[in-house]
Structure 1
Amino acid sequence: MSRTLRRVAAAAAAAVAALSLAACAGTPAASTSAAADGELQTVTAGKLTIATGEPDYEPWFVDDDPSNGKGFEGAVANAVAAELGFDADDIVWVRTGFDAAIAPGPKDWDVNIQQFSVTDERKKAVDFSSPYYTTTQAVVALNDSDAASATTLAELKDAKVGVAAGTTSYTVAEEQLGDANLSVFNTVDDVVLALQSGQIDALVTDLPGAFYLTAAVVDDSTVTGQFEGSDGGDEFAFVLPKDSALTSAVSDAVDALRADGTLDALVQEWLSDAVDVPVLQ
């Protein structure tokens, strides 16, 4: 998700983050899971403690209940846990703020999943697994505009589409739609305001940001579709405490799920079919 949109979401969870930090202390205890490949060090012996945000939005989790295994990240987390040798009953879910999760210091969880983009700056404070998803770009349209029912790129070329200058969204929109009907703004915030005021019919942003906008920011809007390909997209990965003994094992699990097609199948199930966000052709 773009930093601007994530900042809005993070502010709403600030109180939760403070409570979560208070619980962080101690050194992880060693545990051995007979089903896992080798010895895994976890916070609680025999359990895998997975953290996520509060609240959780669809399609990443469903019904704000990470334990039900539904939603894209809920399903990915369960698949990785199983790959590591943990049953669903061995998963302990906890909640954290976004900023607290990537801050330096001890953690009271083994892994954290809540659309964390991998960046060099964040790597200074925490570990990242191999990426489980690379974001695509998507179109958010007002429900009363023709763009809301567009199913092809051609149908969007007559719409007034807003993008922020210098972003991946701008690059993709220009390549796919041309620049004749693009309205270019200085920031993502400016683009969102233009959509809310009816200056534009639609905007282009990363798919996670699109879900957040339609759920919590822009009334009477919808995610029309997503562009094919993920070149230049943010990579989402599990966050682990810095120098965690689990980092290699979690990365191996993610890589295995990518290799056998599980991750692609979950992307199709939860980020396309379940939310009716087709790939625009």
Structure 2
Amino acid sequence: MKFTGPLIVAISTLSLSACGTPNASSINTDLQVATAITGPSPVATSGECSPARLTTRDAGRLNVAYSHPLAPFFVDRSPSAPVGFDVAVVNAIASGLGMDSNQVLWNKVAIKQLTAPTRQDLDLSVGRIDVNSKTDGVTLTTPYFREQQVLLARPNSSMAKVRSAPDLIGTKLGVVKGSSSDLYVKNTLVLPSTAYASSNDLKSAMRDHHVNGMIVPITDVAKTMATFTGALVVAGQFPASKDAATFALAIPTANPLITCVNNVLAGLKASGQLANLQSNWFTSGVNRTISVKE
């Protein structure tokens, strides 16, 4: 069965600015293997979601568009074979729909086409599209990413062994003033911290032992670790707060494909595969939750 309306897969930077996010050179190239489908994804290939009945523009293909690539979500060093977290998510979804990564085709589009699609040759939208974004003619899927806060510490320190928020009582925490991390420490952890004017100031304070732990957004981890003078480890990530930035995919309204994609996403979450992809691309493979009660 063919769907005759516009279908789009897009990688977007609508909701977050480039400031403070890792650039392509800061990504650990060893993690690029995480973009490929490395294991079986939860499948949704029966009934209306069987490969023969998928409502994609071209049978057996998922035509994907992206705009303004931003690492580690998306790096288009090779237009035909990009890498990044969003790419890994799309590949896992394709696998769940009975396709492999060779059947995913990438196209760069203008940013305005991400949530108000005008092209007829693409399939769905993915990447940094906030669930609160204004959309026109598309419906958002269930979320695939929620911004978490991450604790960075010195190797072999007591801070590196923290497993719950009470373990942080009496420690010296540092954050960037006015950042989502600053708000998280104040409103969710309800712990004292020192707020610095910039990321560079925070890293200097950590280097000079004025603080013994830094809390940063998960999207800033790779860049922070790559530009820090000395060694850092990811102690763990905190559960996302209720008001954390949350991203979803977008699919043209009334396209039955959204049900199939939501089924795959539910399976990826339940199996832990989505969390593993996130840890591979954002936290050097560390997938450890620091418990906290909101």
Q: TM-score, normalised by structure 1?
A: 0.62
Q: 2:40 matched to 1:40?
A: no
SS of the aligned residue for 2:127 comes to: coil
**Separation (CA, whole Å) in 1 of partners of 2:249 and 2:225:** 25
Partner residue of 2:285?
275
Residue from 42, 49, 65 that aligns with 2:63: 49
CA contact (8 A) 1:50 1:92 kept: yes
**Separation (CA, whole Å) in 2 of partners of 1:162 and 1:9:** 16
Q: TM-score, normalised by structure 2?
A: 0.60
Deviation at 1:231, TM superposition (A): 2.9
**Separation (CA, whole Å) in 2 of partners of 1:219 and 1:131:** 35
Q: Which amino acid aligns with 1:139?
A: L
Q: Which amino acid aligns with 2:289?
A: V
Residue from 50, 71, 77 that aligns with 2:90: 77
SS of the aligned residue for 2:144 comes to: strand
Q: 2:268 matched to 1:257?
A: no
Partner residue of 1:192?
199
Over residues 71-94 of structure 1, what are the superposed CA-to-partner deviations in whole Å (9 max), with x where a residue is unaligned?
A: 653443123224444444322133
SS of the aligned residue for 1:40 comes to: coil
Deviation at 1:3, TM superposition (A): 5.5
Residue from 86, 95, 106 that aligns with 2:118: 106
The verdict on how the C-alpha distance between 1:267 and 1:86 changes in structure 2, with shifts beyond 3 A counting, is closer
CA contact (8 A) 2:114 2:125 kept: no
> Percent of aligned positions with the same letter in both sequences?
20
Partner residue of 1:183?
194
Over residues 41-77 of structure 1, what are the superposed CA-to-partner deviations in whole Å (9 max), with x where a residue is unaligned?
A: 42x554211234676645x579967987986534431
Question: Relative to total residues, which structure has the larger helix share, 1 or 2?
Answer: 1
The verdict on how the C-alpha distance between 1:209 and 1:34 changes in structure 2, with shifts beyond 3 A counting, is closer
Over residues 24-53 of structure 1, what are the superposed CA-to-partner deviations in whole Å (9 max), with x where a residue is unaligned?
A: xxxxxxxxx9943646242x5542112346
**Separation (CA, whole Å) in 2 of partners of 1:268 and 1:101:** 29
SS of the aligned residue for 2:141 comes to: strand
Deviation at 1:234, TM superposition (A): 2.1
Q: Which amino acid aligns with 1:226?
A: Q
SS of the aligned residue for 1:138 comes to: strand
196-205 or 227-236, larger mean C-alpha shift? 196-205
Deviation at 1:132, TM superposition (A): 1.9
SS of the aligned residue for 1:110 comes to: coil
SS of the aligned residue for 1:257 comes to: helix
CA contact (8 A) 2:71 2:84 kept: no
Partner residue of 1:138?
150
Aligned length: 245
List gaps (5 residues or longer) in structure 1: 13-32
Q: Which amino acid aligns with 1:271?
A: Q
**Separation (CA, whole Å) in 1 of partners of 2:116 and 2:22:** 17
Partner residue of 2:104?
91
The verdict on how the C-alpha distance between 1:210 and 1:257 changes in structure 2, with shifts beyond 3 A counting, is same
CA contact (8 A) 2:52 2:59 kept: no
Q: Which amino acid aligns with 1:120?
A: S
The verdict on how the C-alpha distance between 1:255 and 1:111 changes in structure 2, with shifts beyond 3 A counting, is closer
Q: Which has the higher contact order (CA 8 A, sep 6+)?
A: 2
CA contact (8 A) 2:115 2:125 kept: no
Deviation at 1:227, TM superposition (A): 0.8
CA contact (8 A) 1:156 1:177 kept: no
The verdict on how the C-alpha distance between 1:127 and 1:268 changes in structure 2, with shifts beyond 3 A counting, is closer
